[in-house]
Amino acid sequence: MNKFFLLLVITGLILLFQTTTTAQPLPPNGGHGQTGNQIPGGGAPIASGVPVMIALAVVWVGKKTFDLRNLGE
């Protein structure tokens, strides 16, 4: 129990210092060839990612359903 507690404290301290000491980079001043700052996300479209996310969710639900049906056999 004592070794586990020591390991837990050391892991917690490492995670605490790692997250508090890392610096975030400054945001870019402007895009390439643009006169002002870019909008957050760089103006990347998210429309193409939504169908992919929905397709992955459908596959995941189908696998869960298949696994639950085969669990009783």
Amino acid at 21: T
The residue to which tokens 């002002």 are assigned: 36
Res 60: pLDDT: 92
Task: Please tell me the distance from the alpha carbon of residue 73 to that of residue 67, in angstroms, as a whole number.
Answer: 10
Residue 32 in tokens: 């390439």
Compute the radius of gyration of the chain from its Cα atoms.
Answer: 23
Which H or E element spans position 71?
Answer: helix 49-71
Q: What is the pTM of this model?
A: 0.37
Q: List the pLDDT tens digit at each of the 73 positions of the chain.
A: 688 888 888 888 877 776 656 666 666 665 555 566 666 666 666 666 777 788 889 999 988 888 888 886 6
